[in-house]
A and B are shown apart, each in its own frame.
Chain A
Amino acid sequence: MKHLLSTEDLSLTNAVRILDTAEEMSAVGDREVKKLPALRGRTVVNLFFEDSTRTRISFEAAAKRLSADVINFAAKGSSVSKGESLKDTAQTLSAMGADAVVIRHWASGAPHRLAATDWIDAAVVNAGDGTHEHPTQALLDAFTMRRHWTKLSGLPSAGADLKGMRVAIAGDVLHSRVARSNVWLLRTLGAEVTLVAPPTLLPIGVEKWPCKVSYNMDETLEHGVDAVMMLRVQGERMNASFFPSTREYSRRWGFDDTRLRALDSLGLKDTIIMHPGPMNRGLEISAAAADSPRSTVLAQVRNGVSIRMAALYLLLSGDTREPAATLKESK
């Protein structure tokens, strides 16, 4: 693996390898010395063109736990005010000796351009590009789901996939990179996905995606789900007529207290509620749902550091010129 740009082209082998490595990484967080020397001497640059303190801190913690050096670069400029070009910024970082660039950008495809051109030599990790992909988010979501799923079946989580798990992803799919990354990864891991959203928030062409589509949240719950993932919805979308009002949106597609109770009355006692954060309490998810024992929101954040440690380790520790081979013995 030279870059981590998307989950669409992440093979089952590599996906499971990342999840298994993350299990070992999470053990580090329980130790007194929460550090491993594996990436000592490597430099990881957080290149963030979009504000995101949470994701940036998560990547920073991950890199530091592996003893890598971290440089944070908050790039100026947006679609409105042009700052230094992506090309110039990348080449500056390369000259500074970056081994990995973790990039979050408001333009879909920016990490792909970095990886495809010869502007930099470093490994590129996509920390979220426009409305396209957010692979580490999908991986930490899958990690969280896998731990839950294997605990229910009593199997060890190492090497496991998500076959048979029913996952509903609800919200603004059209504008969500989290939804896209999750659909591809869950498909690869064998889960059954149902997207739930108003028709205006589903992209043209979604019928070709490897998942079901429903406009009805209650029906989807009634058919049975093992995990419900609520996506953040921006209230301002009603000004572009994606839905008439936040009130109507919440009532039809929000995970409110009624639906929380429905999980109990439907006998779905093990169903978890997930959210990538930050949450709009009262819009797409009620406070009670967010704080219920079913909610994995905090676990997702914790798991984010482990997943990002795994990603950085797998991209940077080895001889990155060769493809990752199976384990070799040498004493």
Chain B
Amino acid sequence: MTPVTQAPVPARVVLNQADIDRALTRIAHEILEANKGSQDLVLLGIPRRGYPLAVRLAQKIAAADSAVDASAIVGQLDVTMFRDDLSHHPTRPPHRTQLPLTGIDNKVVVLIDDVLYSGRTIRAALDALVDLGRPRIVRLAVLVDRGHRELPIRADHVGKNLPTSSSEKVRVRLEETDVIDGQPVNEVVIEAGA
């Protein structure tokens, strides 16, 4: 749990807790539909918030398909080392990469992230995957797509399309990672830019 101290900034809530839950439920069913079932599915969340989303999705998939053990299909994929902008920012320590015990070779890997923006994070994730093994198929599921792609990357499953201006900031808060005033919170917020 990372407490996030908030200074008041003009913001509007675009997804509340119920909206997020409904979107994740729909995405879970879309994943099963696209794969025609749960065979060989692996959900890899991209830290930080992609991982709790992947855990929730795995639980919803297990709820829909009793053959699935939710904890056995979830993993975390850290992309820090593969970013193309490392030298433009202060050093970022890497997060843990943890694959499911069954690995990713020949699996259907669904990358999970909270916001899709320029696409560079996903490009880095694809490079990271290549060094770890050879999935049969790779798909992408995101909670929010805010546009402004800089690379030819698209998501297979989107919770909500949010047209934004580049000066705005999209903040995703999940109870697993965000606490405001002592309360865990689930919401997606757009903050006005500077």
- C-alpha spacing A329/B121, complex, angstroms: 11
Binds B, one of A31-39, A216-224, A293-301: A31-39
Is A322 in contact with chain B by the CB < 8 A criterion? yes
- C-alpha spacing A290/B166, complex, angstroms: 61
Task: Count residues of chain A with CB under 8 A from any CB of chain B.
Answer: 31
Chain B hits for A17, CB < 8 A: 93
Q: How many A-B residue pairs have CB under 8 A?
A: 72
- C-alpha spacing A328/B130, complex, angstroms: 25
Contact assessment for A331 and B118 in the assembled complex, using a CB-CB cutoff below 8 Å: yes
Chain B hits for A32, CB < 8 A: 131-133
Contact assessment for B87 and A31 in the assembled complex, using a CB-CB cutoff below 8 Å: no
Binds A, one of B18-26, B28-36, B58-66, B94-102: B94-102
Q: Which of A35, A317, A328, A331 has the most CB of B within 10 A?
A: A331
A42 to chain B, nearest CB (A): 9
Contact assessment for A24 and B78 in the assembled complex, using a CB-CB cutoff below 8 Å: yes
A85 to chain B, nearest CB (A): 32
Which residue on A lies nearest to B94, using beta carbons?
Answer: A24
Chain B hits for A323, CB < 8 A: 90
Contact assessment for A318 and B97 in the assembled complex, using a CB-CB cutoff below 8 Å: no
Contact assessment for B90 and A322 in the assembled complex, using a CB-CB cutoff below 8 Å: yes
Known: A21-B93, A314-B91. A37 touches B118 (CB 8 A): no
Dominant SS among interface residues on chain A:
loop
Contact assessment for B121 and A319 in the assembled complex, using a CB-CB cutoff below 8 Å: no
B11 to chain A, nearest CB (A): 16
A105 to chain B, nearest CB (A): 26
B53 to chain A, nearest CB (A): 14
5 inter-chain pairs at a CB distance below 8 angstroms, sorted by A residue, are: A1-B91, A35-B131, A319-B88, A324-B90, A330-B89
Which B residues have a C-beta under 8 Å from some C-beta of A? 48, 78, 80-82, 86-97, 113, 115-118, 121, 127, 130-133
Known: A328-B89, A328-B90, A331-B113. 19 other contacts (CB 8 A): A1-B91, A21-B93, A24-B95, A32-B133, A33-B132, A36-B131, A37-B82, A38-B80, A38-B82, A314-B93, A317-B87, A318-B87, A318-B89, A319-B89, A324-B90, A327-B92, A330-B89, A331-B115, A331-B121
